[in-house]
Amino acid sequence: MAKMITKSQLVGRLAEKAKITKVSAAAILDEIASLAAKEAKNGFVIPGIGKVVLVNRKARMGRNPQTGQPLRIPAKRVVRIRIAKALKDAVLGRK
C-alpha cells in the first residue's frame, strides 16, 4: 500500500503550484479546515472534492469482539464526507 501524503507535502505542492510561500499555503489549508469544522452543521462544500455534513446515526445492536456479548450502541451525530461525482470518476477511471 502506498503512503499517504502528509500535510507538509501537501503544503509544499500547493505552494509550488500557486507560487506562494509554504507559510501562506499552510494558512490557507488551516483556514479551509477551520471553515469546514464551523460550517459542517449547514453542509460545507469543497468544490471538486465533496461535501462535509453532520449525520444522525440511529441506535443499534452491536457485539463486543472480545466476549461476543451483544451490546447496545447509542445514537450519535457523526461527521461524513460525501465525495463529489467528479472525484469518484477521476479516481475510479469512469467517464
What are the chain's domains?
1-39 (no CATH), 40-95 (4.10.520.10)
Mean pLDDT along residues 82-86: 92
C-alpha cell, 90: 477521476
Q: What is the pLDDT of residues 8-38, one digit of tens each?
A: 999 999 999 999 999 999 999 999 999 999 9
CA distance 15 to 8: 10
Distances in Å between the Cα of 80 and the Cα atoms of 9, 47, 53, 93 are 25, 16, 5, 23
